[in-house]
A = this chain, B = another copy of it.
């Protein structure tokens, strides 16, 4: 209710400020019996650290971000009780931020926190700092462990930085993005972004871009009709990340310029004579997310098409894997717009809390582009949303044996 808890059945509650004792959280509602180790959560956190995929976008800060699981795991599995965790702040240097105590940085939450609360922890943005997202990534790692047990995985790659779009085509490799600088879908684009990043750093300015997030292996039936449509929950989740200014599902804004006859994704029968693993080559590769063959869905899906259904094929995915707010069984496709980081080295005009004009340069060790760091956060929010939707669906049918896993092929 007060904004520090996300989810309904799988719930993450977080706390912490960038220059306080640290960041932490509680995952409540995770089912018992999920294998979980501290090292898995740590690995997720390591992905958002400066270095690695950060290229020239990142800062020179060294944040250990060592997470400690405090409860809810016993003898290597979750117990069903809340999983508390904590990440101590180690490299705080709060003296950098003193001069900003009474000045509002443009593009930041300084003014709005003052408006909301009347007081503000001004050290490094306090709770409005991007560092807050470390707790989301830790919680998301628990969600991902639950999803992995159901055959669901999340992947993300950057589509565009500073107006330079990845070309797509045969080199487009989203699965390899996690290993490239800037989570780029191909090596050449990563280099182009690196060059642009160096240029802008020299100007004291910052950049934004676009990121695609996909969820693979999601069973049909997740999401609630009306207010809690799966796309509404995902838009909520992604828009709650500070840098995000827009969210699309499937074709998104391009769908607004399409025709109904083009935008609709048809249903086709499974090829009648061939088995499900012997289908016409003319269909797109099912693993691309563009084609969906319901007969190949995992047996662990929470809500399956009606028993009589012998399977079907969807040869396109304009809808982004969601129809009427409920997952279709296809890959879920989301695109988000990331604004340029507001902390720029250039001089800016602002006022202090007394309304007096000031000019300021935001010093410190800031990033040029949020994208490398924000990608694991977007993945985490997607994982949290889907873990919650998965648990919500485990109670939708009167016949609970029907609601549980069932293979459905021919």
Contact = CB atoms under 8 A, between A and B. Distances in A.
Contacts of A304: 115
Contacts of A400: 300, 302, 394, 404-405
Q: Bin the interface of chain A by size.
A: 35 or more
Contact of A221 (B70, B115, B225, B226): B115
A323 B378 CA distance: 19
Given A206-B259, A253-B245, A397-B33, A107 B265 contact: yes
B118 A256 contact: no
A97 to B, nearest CB: 12
A4 B31 contact: no
A402 interface: yes
A207 to B, nearest CB: 7
Interface stretch (A40-48, A171-179, A180-188, A347-355): A347-355
Contact of A119 (B33, B232, B343): B33
A99 B189 CA distance: 51
Given A268-B349, A308-B353, A325 B109 contact: yes
Q: Can you tell how many copies of this chain the complex includes? A: 4
A152 interface: no
A20 B81 CA distance: 12
B245 A252 contact: yes
Contacts of A260: 107, 205-207, 340-344, 346
Contact of A340 (B1, B263, B339): B263
Contacts of A160: 256-257
B342 A264 contact: yes
A108 interface: yes
A31 B398 contact: yes
Interface string A19-61: 0111111101101111000000000000000000000000000
A351 B312 contact: yes
A139 B281 CA distance: 51
A395 interface: yes
A113 B306 contact: no
Nearest to A105: B264
A81 B23 CA distance: 12
A163 interface: yes
Nearest to A77: B119
B355 A310 contact: yes
